[in-house]
Structure 1
Amino acid sequence: MKEPLLTASLVVYHNAKEDIKKVIDSFLGYGSKSVLFIIDNSANDSLKVLCDNSRVVYVFNDKNIGFGAAHNIAFNKAYQLESEYHILLNPDVYFKPSIIKDLIHKAASDLSIGLLMPKVIYPNGNTQHLCKLIPSPKDLILRRFIPFKGMKKRLENRYELRFFSYDEEAEIPVLSGCFMMIRTSILKTVNGFDDRFFMYLEDVDLCRRVSGVSRLVYYPKVSIVHNYEKGSYKSKKLLSYHIQSAIKYFNKWGWFFDAERSKINHKTLLKLNYKK
């Protein structure tokens, strides 16, 4: 099989250089037919020193234009190169380069798959529950603010599909933007991220649009490490971004009446044998 051209995008904002180097090394270890676009939203270009490889394209924005808008810059460059697959990377992930070959092989074996996410683990090896249903206002608001641990646990068990074995391959309606491999043609079809989302929920919105034209698959035969910080739980500014994005998301897709959400979530829970 001819090796496909692979592109990837990494949006950075004053991240630690050692973290960015880990991501770059992970990706560049894959092979020669690959290009990494680093889009820098920082106030200075101090991270540029890490981009001395011919397969790394560095773009300095000189301001924070947002997560989705920055990735869209890279997407447009990927379309021009006509890459076959594109990977979205977070600045806080790292992985064995060999997993990329496995993901490409999986996608190539089933053309109905448009988006893949591997298993995501913490540095200590524990699984991160990043397979999710399409969120309702209850899922986002009650989980964040409800003081009752029992109710919160029940909500998380359903919404984050914690009842499901994260060692099983499955079609999932919402996968995490910390690491996604997407067919570049699909990315172009759905027109990338909706850049009205400055930060948070842009991956949920993207998943919904991708699911309209292809399948989203969780593929746990390979894994990545993610230093998941849950920043909006620690920072009032990030919490504000999260709330603003939630309002934009539900204004776009529907608050309490979203027939598509109900249908997809019901189908997913049945397929995964959810029991209350």
Structure 2
Amino acid sequence: MVESASPGAETHEITIAIVVFKPDQQTVLRTIQSLRQALQFTDAKTAKIFLIDNTPDGANYDWLSESLAGLPFEIIHGQGNVGFGRANNIVVDVVGKYHLVLNPDVEMEPDALATALAFMDDHKDCGLLTPQAFNPDGSRQYLCKRYPNVFDLLLRGFAPCGVKQLFATRLDLYEMRDQIGDVVFWDPPIASGCFMFFRGDVFKKLGGFDPRYFLYFEDFDISLRAAKFARIAYVPKVRIVHEGGNASRKGWWHIWQLARSARVFFWAHLLKLS
């Protein structure tokens, strides 16, 4: 079922896909409000927001009506919990010239989309843009990653803080802290799925996300696939705040999904372990 504020098969300069599952209303509202402000800063003539709800049995969207008022949007639901990648792929055939995959816990600076659009217009070889990110407390997040190995993933996801400190240099290298700063950096191997700004034809050529990933690692996979025919750019002038989350703190179901997706990822990419 689709609830639409702008029906029809339109072509848009920018489309935005936000996948939610049993969403925290206040978090999503903050994301929508920041998105509204960011769209107002752009010169994009047409835009459309797709809110894709994986919550089983539908939901009540009255709480969103005021926040979405005046915005071109569709709410897509009824597919059940099909996973992050499959949900995003529902709109793969209707993405705009540019397409943003956006987490529902991301707030962006008002000029973030305008800056991203300008960068893409100036750099035709860029197919995927990743931003500079901060935690809600103002500390920096490192969204770009080097190709992982199992030990790094276990350290980062599950090790106590004291153990992480022992391997801080190793983890810093994995998070590319020696490369990622306040200037544009080209071709990081992996970009985070919380904010992936694609050239629309690149997202279509990829066929969206690999549906084998229910949750976790789909961003690793699509980054590596995108890099085969387009460049990835870290652009620090595009700034976001990302609440983020740690799978180990979310319970055993999330830990299982992380482990399952890691297995799929490493098999798919020829077990490039070090």
Give the TM interval when normalised to the shorter protein: 0.7 to 0.9
Contact 1:6–1:84 under 8 Å retained in 2: yes
Distance 2:156 2:242 in 1: 22
What is the deviation of 1:143? 3.8
What is the deviation of 1:155? 2.0
| Equivalent residue number for residue 15 of structure 2 | 7
Q: Does 2:31 correspond to 1:23? A: yes
| Equivalent residue number for residue 75 of structure 2 | 58
Q: Does 2:194 correspond to 1:178? A: yes
CA deviation profile, 1:151-202 (whole Å, cap 9, x unmatched): 4312211100123342121021111110111001000111110011000000
Contact 1:137–1:256 under 8 Å retained in 2: no
What is the deviation of 1:118? 1.3
Contact 2:92–2:207 under 8 Å retained in 1: no
Give TM-score scaled by structure 1 length.
0.84
- Give the secondary structure class of the aligned counterpart of 2:141: coil
| Equivalent residue number for residue 269 of structure 1 | none
What is the deviation of 1:49? 4.3
Distance 2:249 2:270 in 1: 25
Distance 1:151 1:210 in 2: 34
Distance 2:220 2:193 in 1: 8
Contact 2:155–2:164 under 8 Å retained in 1: no
Equivalent residue in structure 1 for 2:264, among 248, 251, 260:
248
Distance 1:209 1:48 in 2: 39
Count the aligned residue pairs.
251
Distance 1:96 1:58 in 2: 24
In the alignment, structure 2 segments of 5+ residues that lack a partner are 1-11
CA deviation profile, 1:196-246 (whole Å, cap 9, x unmatched): 100000000000010001111000013111111213344211011000000
Matched residue type, 1:59: I
Matched residue type, 1:21: L
Matched residue type, 1:11: V
1:1-276 → structure 2 map (5 Å cutoff): 5-29=13-37, 30-31=39-40, 33-43=46-56, 44-47=58-61, 49-51=63-65, 52-53=68-69, 55-78=72-95, 83-145=96-158, 148-171=163-186, 172-256=188-272
Distance 1:144 1:122, change over 3 A: closer
CA deviation profile, 1:21-72 (whole Å, cap 9, x unmatched): 1222222331452100010001231246415545010101352100000000
Distance 1:25 1:133 in 2: 33
What is the deviation of 1:146? 5.3
Matched residue type, 2:81: N
What is the deviation of 1:136? 2.2
Matched residue type, 1:23: T
Give TM-score scaled by structure 2 length.
0.85
| Equivalent residue number for residue 265 of structure 1 | none
Contact 2:100–2:196 under 8 Å retained in 1: yes
Distance 1:192 1:62 in 2: 17
Distance 1:40 1:146 in 2: 32
Distance 1:123 1:88, change over 3 A: same
Matched residue type, 1:102: T
Distance 2:17 2:248 in 1: 23
Distance 2:204 2:176 in 1: 29
RMSD of aligned residue pairs (Cα, Å): 2.0
In the alignment, structure 1 segments of 5+ residues that lack a partner are 263-276
